[in-house]
Structure 1
């Protein structure tokens, strides 16, 4: 890959000229303006220089090669003199984009890479306080780069196309986020806890656009709402992978609790007044766990801190039978 980039790098390189090393007279950028063959668009034979291939051959022992005394070669000689040859120095490659002329992989990458405008959703992914792992998963999802089943099938994979979460439709990015009934319930639960409601979920990009316009500002509740998106995307993707690769399932309420816990932890790490306690995430974010009517078996649960001289053990199941 590095060798393939040589042609792209040539316009950004030149040489500080000495004559101890050998430099191609015609095709290496020893002159600041480019190669001699490009600066003088005539063949070597026109200049009677076919026998000269190295820059060191034109200036020896303090004298110019007699071939350069020909009036028709004045242009070539002028270009060579402009390069300020120093017979006591060595040839040093110069990387022109760098202020000190030294090539580094960072400057090389920034110079040669194709640059495009930032997508509008960038602020919903890469921001202070967001979990890098969650941000990466969200970035891949918004770029349509997650290995969903529809993409794998297009690559030739022979797999079951059905979504492992809802088991009712073919899996794709837009289905997984948030047309799948499993992920739609999680998204609606997050919205509800933040005082929002969406009549119908749209595509992932459309939902992100809506979220971005409803999470502007630096208030605690706004920041918490913004922090919901990446953990939501990441946990949906992880649950999808768990069902495919581990053949195990998590109930959607457990996944929701995991998302809320992660938001609480991240909020406590931010420099915001009235930080959220992990045991009471509802203080300023409206993320309180409440009873949702679609599951008759669920009950509203409350939690209170233990006394100073006590230790409280929390469990997802009853301990009465122990």
Structure 2
């Protein structure tokens, strides 16, 4: 608990951006699927320069929650002062048992900003759980991400060939995807992603509509991959069949019931005497 009373103060920014615990009291490398080899040697002062965080230059994709928290920090670099941990609850920044005892008597509520446990508790197969985890970490290998990593030559959507294939475009706003959401009776979903944090969106709409939200995203991604790797475009009926099969197998615990679900009603009838 005492570690919550310490704050990391950036001085010269010579700490490792990925492998020193300078934010969330965790190593950033532990919060992403992998660190791109081009980024492994970066220090904090390699990313903070010209008075701002230059996260767009990273080859490694960071989750939105982490980007937001990093950007909330506005350090003042001091060349001759090393990065240090300070005791937040004293004016000098120096830890003492007296200050610690006083702080422990009135502890602040601990807020876990990165609680991913709910993902692994979804009543879904592991591959869909991992897909949701990838979405939240912005690591789904769309054309935009692969192009950013210099893996492919184009960042255009392979289905519509018009827009950049971001994760949002792929799973929500591509005309092919919009048609899927509409066919499932969830035409409002593509517009719901605007102005809301990625993590909060998944929690909110997962609670409202249940597993079907994640199943639709997964099936859309599978259909997209069929286009990319097999040059085969699944028909609307085929996609609907895949969705119905998944929904029937994995259930749909929710407060609303999309049209793609065909619920089985069970009732007891008193036998005739």
Instruction: Select the structure with the greater relative contact order (CA < 8 A; seq sep ≥ 6).
Output: 2
Q: Which structure has the bigger radius of gyration?
A: 1
